[in-house]
Amino acid sequence: AILAPAAAAATLPSPLGRNNVGGKDFGGAPSAGGGQDDLGLRDKAPDTDTVTSALVYAWELNERKIPAAAYRLGELNPETAYVLKTVGVDQPPLLDGALEPKTPVAVVDTNNPAELPEGIVKAGIHSIVDHHKLSGLTNSEPLEIDMRPLCSATSILYARAKAANLTPPKHIAGLMLAGILSDSLEFRSPTTTEVDKVHAQELGKLAGLDVHTFAEGMLDAKAQVDHLTPMELLKTDSKVFTIGGKKLRVSVLETTKPAAPLGKQKALVDAMKALVAEEKIDDCLFFIVDILKEGATFVAGSDMATKIVESAWSVKVDKASGTVYLPGVLSRKKQMIPMLEAAAGKSELERSPAGRLAAGWRQARPYAPGAAPAAPCG
């Protein structure tokens, strides 16, 4: 089985079956049940790269004579639904419940156990294909890992296909292209590399799709959020991180029409407070990314959240509006989390005895370029 934070299945090159690969049974639907692992909060909101990379990796494994299928853990967002309809791939079956021990799985677009099904730590992990930082997933046996700093998991999978002399069929090429365009915001995100751009152009030709036209359709679909409740908006693209000893949910909403969600600000703040209480986390940070303007608006849900963002970006949240605009901020992975972690690290250092001593020294003897060194003490 192919499992991702939330994956999808479609028509695959070969039927599901049981096959022994490297000492592991691999293929067929994973069983529900098994032990309950306290891994934190799991979100059931798949994004486009997660879904498409699961489908693509299932294709690759089947090409390698390893029967495999992809599954989803939640409902598709409007952008992903548009992609599947455009490339002609059906919505997959839903996987629900925990995994049985030793269930064979391959993981794409994450290596964070908190983003995977319950029971994952006791599953038989066959392989991981990911483009995120290391996040704690462990395994009892050696496994295949392919992690690269490309903009999407599907970009990695296309590179793998090229290296193996595999030409993706039209619908698989379309899925690969969609993952790249979604995660890179049509090459606007700082996660985009020149390799990703080359891959996109090649995949557009293989899929018979105009890259820009396809991207515009995806962005239009992504902006269709009027039907979502404030709580659903917060969970559309959301992950929980432990930063500076605090458990923070960092939610991002990417849209070409930020005025619509901003018009629900009061309800969003109420939803953030309810989410913090319900999940027993320390806080929730919500960023609305304006794809076309290429910046993010932070919506403050609490005084703590306000202080965290002000410290990280050296800005002031407007008290009247409860927001602050962060120009150029588009990526949670490459910008938001690193900035939040850096600010937390600096705060911890300043609170430490060594940090207080250094701060006191700087205050007592400020640095002046060209000044003579202090006389030694004896």
Query: pLDDT tens digits for 316-363?
Result: 999 999 999 999 999 999 999 999 999 998 766 555 555 544 444 344
pLDDT at 164 over 70: yes
> d(Cα 215, Cα 79) in Å, to the nearest integer?
10
Instruction: State how far the Cα of 301 lies from the Cα of 238, in Å rounded to an integer.
Output: 15
Query: Which of the two residues, 157 and 27, has the higher pLDDT score?
Result: 157
pLDDT of the residue at 78:
93
Mean pLDDT of 365-369: 43
User: Distance between CA 119 and CA 46 in Å, rounded?
Assistant: 19
Measured between alpha carbons, how far is residue 230 from residues 210, 225, 251 in Å?
34, 10, 12
Q: Report yes or no: 199 and 155 within 8 Å, Cβ to Cβ.
A: yes
| % of the chain beyond a pLDDT of 90 | 68
**Residue 24 pLDDT:** 27
Q: Are 155 and 176 contacting, i.e. CB atoms less than 8 angstroms apart?
A: yes
Name, in order, each residue with C-beta under 8 angstroms of 109's C-beta and a sequence gap of 6 or more: 4, 5, 49, 50, 53, 54, 129, 130, 131, 132, 152, 153
Of 37-46, 252-261, 306-315, 331-340, the range with the lowest mean pLDDT is 37-46
Cα end-to-end distance, the chain, whole Å: 71
Average pLDDT over residues 254-283: 97
Closest CA to 11 of 81, 93, 129: 93
Closest CA to 168 of 62, 65, 66, 72: 62
Task: Please check whether residue 246 is in contact with residue 283, taking contact to mean a CB–CB distance below 8 angstroms.
Answer: yes
Q: What is the pLDDT of residue 374?
A: 43
Q: Report the relative pairing of strands 124-130 and 19-21 from DSSP bridges.
A: unpaired
- In this predicted structure, the answer to whether residue 116 has a pLDDT above a threshold of 70 is yes
Please name the residue that has the structure tokens 């299932």. Answer: 58
Closest-CA residue to 155 (of 212, 201, 112) = 201
Sheet holding 2-3, edge to edge: 2-3, 104-108, 124-130, 144-147
User: Is the separation of the CB atoms in 19 and 259 below 8 Å?
Assistant: no
pLDDT at residue 352, as a whole number: 55
- Separation between Cα atoms, residue 368 and residue 341, nearest integer Å: 30
| Residue positions counted in the chain | 378
CA distances from 99 to 121, 140, 229 (A): 9, 16, 30
What 8-state DSSP symbol labels residue 86? H
324 or 100: which leads in pLDDT: 324
